[in-house]
């Protein structure tokens, strides 16, 4: 079927990398793998990060105008008419002003993949965005939830509770499978490129450097690892962004233990992770963490904060260790345990690879998405 795809937070062809952009691309890839034709329907970024009601109102007006323009285009060229509209990542800071009116006018299903609804925003600075999100969810024929922590809030807004469908976060495991096959040579290449000591365990982190919860996580990471300086390790950080200076300051207590390698191309991430020994990320305010999925696909155990949907993708005690969100002491202790126990790291890494292959791979997601969407448009051609 032809699927109109829209990501109001960040379009999949946006130049700045992020987990959100990556998942938007993965969703389009999964839809195509299932035999469908996902077509980017709009690029409007409806995000208002400051709670500016005037900006939210202007974005709402612009969204309505773009919906009308889209409908005129489809009317003029019926071959462009979609069978279904799918919006990825809907929440109060990035509502969807385009999809609901388009779907209603065309009489096609309106589907949302990943959504959250916080009632505390109902009367606050983001009440316009909250209201738009609530209205869109009520209109939705199906909400595909990638984060179990969002389920309770979203269910209150749905016309029917059965409109909620769970989908495990997923990724394309193929690049990681290739990298794993040459783990030893990958470690040698990464060591040479970034001047790392192959005799030490490498702790890896892949995250953008932003002045929000990402920076909070970096600060906790620095504080936690500062307590582990009596143990052997090097920390390799892949990422960049406007908070780079603050991140450097947060990690300064680690001295020469840190290698900041900048923002790597997506194609370089599998080799970096495969070459490493342990993935560490406090995950403050994280939905689930695509990089945490990638680390496990690379065969790395994970130490992370137990928040949001992180528990959906990390089996604590089996594929890694989860600790209370924001707990410096617990994060430090869990990391120290795995630094010291290379056999346990190896067992967890194998279990992590198996977990990803069993339910978080692209093929599983494509099948699940296809099943859900065909319930809504049973007569559509592939």
Over the chain (382 residues), what is each successive 10-residue block's mean pLDDT?
Answer: 97 90 96 97 96 96 98 96 98 97 98 94 92 97 95 95 96 96 94 95 96 96 98 97 97 97 94 98 93 97 96 96 97 98 97 96 96 90 53
- Domains contained in the chain, number: 2
Evaluate whether residue 382 is within a structural domain: no
- For residues 133 and 261, membership in a common domain is answered with no
Q: In what order do the strands lie in the sheet with 202-206?
A: 258-262, 234-238, 202-206, 278-281, 302-306, 320-324
- For residues 145 and 198, membership in a common domain is answered with no
Can you give the three-state secondary structure of 339-374, one letter per residue? Answer: HHCHHHHHHHHHHHHHHHHHHCEHHHHHHHHHHHHH
- For residues 165 and 237, membership in a common domain is answered with no
- Token digits for 353? 């690879």
Number of H helices, E strands in the chain: 15, 12
Predicted local confidence at residue 97, as pLDDT: 98
- For residues 204 and 183, membership in a common domain is answered with yes
For residue 152, give every residue at least 6 positions away whose Cβ sits within 8 Å of its Cβ, in sequence order, or none.
none
- For residues 333 and 218, membership in a common domain is answered with yes
d(CA 203, CA 254): 12
Q: Say what the pTM is.
A: 0.92
Q: Domain range for residue 75?
A: 2-170+361-376
Smallest CA-to-CA distance from 151 within 166, 135, 134, 131 is with 166
For residue 167, give every residue at least 6 positions away whose Cβ sits within 8 Å of its Cβ, in sequence order, or none.
113, 144, 145, 146, 365, 368, 369, 372
- For residues 351 and 365, membership in a common domain is answered with no
The 10 Å Cβ neighbour count of residue 261 is 18
Predicted local confidence at residue 19, as pLDDT: 86
Task: Establish how many alpha carbons lie within 13 A of residue 154's alpha carbon, considering only the half-sphere containing its beta carbon.
Answer: 28
């Amino acid at each position: 079927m032809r699927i109109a795809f829209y990501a109001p937070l960040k379009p999949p062809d946006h130049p700045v990398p992020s987990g959100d952009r990556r998942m938007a691309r993965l969703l389009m890839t999964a839809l195509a793998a299932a035999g469908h034709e996902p077509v980017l329907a709009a690029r409007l970024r409806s995000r208002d990060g400051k709670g500016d009601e005037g900006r939210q109102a202007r974005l709402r007006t612009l969204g309505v105008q773009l919906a009308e323009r889209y409908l005129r285009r489809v009317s003029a060229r019926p071959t462009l008419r979609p069978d279904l509209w799918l919006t990825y990542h809907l929440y109060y800071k990035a509502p969807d002003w385009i999809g609901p009116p388009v779907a209603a006018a065309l009489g096609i299903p309106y589907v949302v993949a990943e959504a959250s609804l916080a009632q505390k925003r109902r009367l606050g600075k983001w009440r316009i965005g909250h209201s738009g999100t609530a209205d869109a969810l009520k209109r939705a024929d199906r909400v595909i939830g990638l984060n179990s922590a969002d389920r309770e809030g979203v269910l209150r807004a749905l016309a029917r509770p059965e409109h909620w469908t769970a989908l495990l976060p997923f990724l394309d495991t193929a690049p990681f499978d290739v990298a794993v096959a040459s783990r030893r040579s990958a470690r040698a290449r990464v060591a040479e490129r970034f001047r790392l000591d192959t005799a030490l365990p490498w702790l890896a982190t892949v995250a953008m450097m932003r002045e929000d919860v990402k920076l909070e996580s970096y600060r906790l990471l620095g504080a936690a690892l500062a307590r582990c300086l009596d143990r052997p390790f090097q920390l390799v950080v892949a990422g960049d962004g406007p908070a780079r200076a603050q991140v450097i300051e947060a990690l300064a207590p680690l001295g020469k233990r840190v290698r900041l390698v900048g923002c790597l191309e997506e194609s370089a991430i599998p080799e970096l992770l495969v070459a490493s020994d342990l993935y560490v990320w406090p995950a403050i305010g994280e939905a689930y963490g695509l990089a945490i999925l990638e680390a496990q696909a690379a065969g790395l155990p994970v130490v992370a904060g137990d928040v949001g949907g992180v528990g959906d993708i990390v089996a604590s005690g089996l594929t890694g260790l989860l600790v209370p969100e924001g707990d410096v002491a617990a994060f430090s202790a869990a990391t120290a345990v795995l630094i010291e126990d290379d056999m346990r790291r190896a067992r967890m890494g194998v279990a992590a690879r198996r977990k990803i292959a069993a339910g978080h791979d692209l093929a599983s997601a494509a099948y699940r998405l296809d099943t859900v969407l065909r319930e809504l448009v049973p007569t559509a051609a592939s």
